[in-house]
Amino acid sequence: MTTHMMNKSEKQRMHPTLDGADAKAVCDFIVDRLDEGKATDITVIDLKKRSGFTDYLIIASGTSTRHVGALAHHLALILKDHRVPARVEGDRGKGAWVVLDAKEVVVHLFDPQTRAYYALEDIWK
């Protein structure tokens, strides 16, 4: 049996970097990953002209606190693989609300009840 060690360029092809990508590209990438992870009610709010802290706010729901935690964990790993620094706040294990801050893109992941209670979308309308 022959094994093949991947070199750096092969690894980069598998995980192309988003380093230097604009905020819209990072936002679209995150939305695609959330969709693949079966997140529901994915909402993107463009804050470029309304806020100084981020360009895009993504709000999405998991079906349960366990699903929210899994989405957050997976997204954090994927962003790291693509060289997008992201800070995670909230309890990924049993969190009803987890926030990923990727600077120009901030992601709020909720279970359905917590999302309905806080209604973040209404704040930014």
Q: Strand, helix or coil at 121? A: helix
**pLDDT score, position 52:** 82
Confidence of residue 78 (pLDDT cuts 50, 70, 90): very high
More confident residue, 11 or 70: 70
Helix (H), strand (E) at residue 109: strand 105-110
The closest of 17, 99, 114 to 58, measured between CA atoms, is: 99
Overall average pLDDT of the 73-97 stretch:
87
% of the chain beyond a pLDDT of 90: 62
The closest of 41, 48, 59, 54 to 102, measured between CA atoms, is: 54
Q: What does pTM read for this prediction? A: 0.83
Long-range CB contacts (< 8 A, 24+ apart) of 95-100? 95/65, 95/68, 95/69, 96/65, 96/68, 97/68, 98/68, 98/69, 98/71, 98/72, 100/72, 100/75, 100/76
What is the spatial distance between Cα 59 and Cα 54, in angstroms, rounded to a whole number?
A: 14
What is the spatial distance between Cα 36 and Cα 117, in angstroms, rounded to a whole number?
A: 26
Which residue ranges form the domains of the chain, and what is each CATH number? 20-123 (3.30.460.10)
